[in-house]
Structure 1
Amino acid sequence: MPKVVVFDEVGGPEVLRVVDEPIAEPGAGEVRVRIEAFAVNPLDQMVRAGQSPRPIQLPHARLGAEGTGVVDALGAGVTGPAVGDPVILAAIPDFEARGAYAEYTTLAADRVVPRPDGMDPVDAAALWVAYFTAYGALVERSGMRPGDHVLITAASGGVGRAAIQIANQIGAVPLAVTRSAAKEPDLLAAGAAAVIATDREDVGEATRRHTGGTGADIVLDAVMGPGLAELSLAAKLGGTLATIGWLDPRPASFPANPSLTIHRFMGFADMVNPVITRRVAAFLAAGVRTGVLRPTVDRVFGLDDIVEAHRYLEKGTATGKIVVRVQPT
């Protein structure tokens, strides 16, 4: 029988277990996807540890916010995807009945998008959430334009690297913020126009130096926390601050730049909007086709090694996405 990862109680990585379950038939308007690979995300860690943004029903809860595979079966009334189509899961499944941590999953037919032609399943598994988040915050919300200077915190992470590439695709100027100067060569190779390392320089001063004294047009922040007020001063007057994460769990300080337009972007809310989803899918497919968008995969695990994958995630040392390659039965 097909394998699926479940957990009956919240806690550390060891609560995850791989079990066999009968394959489910897709309901009306649904497709069944044979999963080839999925990504391990911080949201999965939060849900597993009991820090989910919404209640999770136990026991037998599931994980998995993104993945890729091949359409295996169609439910009644499905007229879009066809059996055999390579697809990417385009919206977070629920954690009670389905998820990407499995050999098969079912979901609504309008919640999958075509996988870019020729894209390897491991790379495709690392694409959707990070690039959707970066695109949504920078383009859909902040209106990023060619020539804009974009300051990107947590630039070594999956969303940070996606933001660097998307800024380059638009023609903007990505300025990468990292805690360690040792990461500068890697971030420059990833496409950053400049790297600001907080262990050697002040973010605001460095940003003004790289922008002719005006400050960043857009600040994309995945950290939040008490440093948000100081970070806001790196933006120009009338600039934009888009927050996308909470890597610092401490209460965020109020931005000290009163002229900013502030967006709190939550990508999963937009992923259920089919108009936005189609727009993002088209943008990403074009970027993959031209070679501008290239997901960075830090490490690949097997499905039976899911506990080790979560332990690796918790170390916080990954410099790209963590992907699990599934070997279907």
Structure 2
Amino acid sequence: MRAIVYTSNGTSDVLRLEERPVPEPAAEEVRVRVVVSAVNPTDWKNRAGSGSTVEEIEEQSPNQDGAGVVDAVGPGVTSVAPGDRAWLFLAAYQRTSGTAEEYTVVPAERVVKLPDEASFDVGASLGVPAMTAHRALTVHDGGPSRLAPGALTGRTVLVAGGAGAVGHAAIQLAHWAGATVITTVSSPAKAELAAAAGADVIVNYRSEDAVARIRSAAPDGVDLVVEVSPARNADLNAAVLANHGTVAVYTTDGGSQMSLDVRSHFALNVRYQFLLLYTVGPEALAAAADDITAALRDGALPVGVGAGLPLTRFPLAATAAAHDAVEQGAVGKVLIDVASL
């Protein structure tokens, strides 16, 4: 089989296309024929390593997310069967087999049936972004802990950076669950993407008074913030949060240090919830996989420019260019065509 591999950390030129034997699944493992692989920021960051030195590592295939067809299952696997369409998450986490190869072997709990209503492009675009968004939307002090139609009815959700992959998924999932969704963007083009994703109120923080616009849309305050840039947005969040509001932080764009006015946050009983998908635990991952699959059946997570998430495609041999595109801030989702069916 063809596989993208690397044996040292560094720039994207450490990635190379090689021929490797088709791997065999062990007990509780699943082999998937990958049709589409997706690139997330974490993928190029893992490949790059510390950035200060080049380190030799065990041979690794990159990329956490993808979609394809179950090819074989190991002993004890009952959740999927050969021939099932599937989406994958955290394929390369603590493993050497990512999705940038024609066949990958993944623990069964990281392989989820892909409904017939969803394309492989949609399946590959889930994983890290959609599961992170699900976790962010389910950590509010008053719940809910699961998402479904009506689960967020009566809640106002603010999604920072609604044109990003996590922001896009958060808008779609919050909209599906019944929330009023406000999002911030940095340009008219990104505003169009957020509108296509289903945001109810779109605020261009570079050209508008963001606090005034958000407060106008949510006079009683925002219940939940899905936050991409906690340091940069700390003052804005403090000005728009409702009593018992929650800020769910999933990354540190804009800096890893922030300052908070303690008294105002005391008065509002604010909760800051930090989250990292890799360490949230199996129960949270399983809940996200189930709820996301339900949303897929309802057609709630489309991709493509018409749905607010432009797709940029590369062939498997150009995986290095795909990593570079994500590192350079490509808007939307970067996909790699691994195989055709």
Establish whether TM, by shorter chain, passes 0.5.
Answer: yes
Q: Do residues 267 (structure 1) and 267 (structure 2) align? A: no
CA-CA distance at 1:160 after TM superposition: 0.6
In the alignment, what sits opposite 1:197? Answer: 204
C-alpha spacing 1:211/1:31, structure 2 compared with 1 (3 Å): same
1:87-102 equivalences in 2 (<5 Å)? 87-94=86-93, 96-102=95-101
C-alpha spacing 1:222/1:48, structure 2 compared with 1 (3 Å): same
The one-character-per-residue Cα deviations of 1:111-130 (angstroms, maximum 9, x if unpaired) are 21111223211221002321
CA-CA distance at 1:4 after TM superposition: 1.5
In the alignment, what sits opposite 1:10? Answer: 9
Does the CA contact (< 8 Å) of 1:297 and 1:323 recur in 2? no
In the alignment, what sits opposite 1:183? Answer: 190
1:21-170 equivalences in 2 (<5 Å)? 21-51=20-50, 58-94=57-93, 96-141=95-140, 143=143, 145-170=152-177
SS of 2:157's partner is: strand
Unaligned residue ranges in structure 2 (runs of 5+): 145-151, 304-308
1:283 to 267, 276, 291: 291
Matching residue's letter, 1:165: Q
Distance 1:80 1:282 in 2: 12
In the alignment, what sits opposite 1:172? Answer: 179
The TM-score with structure 1 as length reference comes to 0.89
C-alpha spacing 1:110/1:288, structure 2 compared with 1 (3 Å): closer
In the alignment, what sits opposite 1:240? Answer: 246
CA-CA distance at 1:51 after TM superposition: 4.2
C-alpha spacing 1:97/1:325, structure 2 compared with 1 (3 Å): same
The one-character-per-residue Cα deviations of 1:37-56 (angstroms, maximum 9, x if unpaired) are 1110000111112149xxx9
Does the CA contact (< 8 Å) of 1:92 and 1:268 recur in 2? no
CA-CA distance at 1:205 after TM superposition: 2.4
Q: Do residues 231 (structure 1) and 237 (structure 2) align? A: yes
The one-character-per-residue Cα deviations of 1:109-154 (angstroms, maximum 9, x if unpaired) are 2221111223211221002321111111102556252121111111
Does the CA contact (< 8 Å) of 2:117 and 2:296 recur in 1? no
The one-character-per-residue Cα deviations of 1:209-233 (angstroms, maximum 9, x if unpaired) are 1112x32111110122344244333
Distance 1:51 1:297 in 2: 30
CA-CA distance at 1:100 after TM superposition: 1.4
In the alignment, what sits opposite 1:210? Answer: 217
Larger mean CA deviation between 179-188 and 3-12 belongs to: 179-188
Does the CA contact (< 8 Å) of 1:37 and 1:121 recur in 2? yes
Does the CA contact (< 8 Å) of 2:139 and 2:273 recur in 1? no
Larger mean CA deviation between 57-66 and 39-48 belongs to: 57-66
Q: How many residues align?
A: 321
C-alpha spacing 1:240/1:255, structure 2 compared with 1 (3 Å): farther
C-alpha spacing 1:5/1:65, structure 2 compared with 1 (3 Å): same
The one-character-per-residue Cα deviations of 1:51-80 (angstroms, maximum 9, x if unpaired) are 49xxx9714233111111111122233333
Distance 1:78 1:302 in 2: 31
In the alignment, what sits opposite 1:311? Answer: 324
Does the CA contact (< 8 Å) of 2:165 and 2:333 recur in 1? yes
SS of 1:7's partner is: strand
Distance 1:57 1:77 in 2: 35
Distance 2:18 2:261 in 1: 47
The one-character-per-residue Cα deviations of 1:58-107 (angstroms, maximum 9, x if unpaired) are 14233111111111122233333211111112334335521111111112
Q: Do residues 292 (structure 1) and 300 (structure 2) align? A: yes
Matching residue's letter, 1:291: G
The one-character-per-residue Cα deviations of 1:143-188 (angstroms, maximum 9, x if unpaired) are 2521211111111011111111111111111101112244323322
The TM-score with structure 2 as length reference comes to 0.86
Does the CA contact (< 8 Å) of 2:139 and 2:248 recur in 1? no
Does the CA contact (< 8 Å) of 1:154 and 1:177 recur in 2? yes
Give the % identical residues: 31
RMSD: 2.3
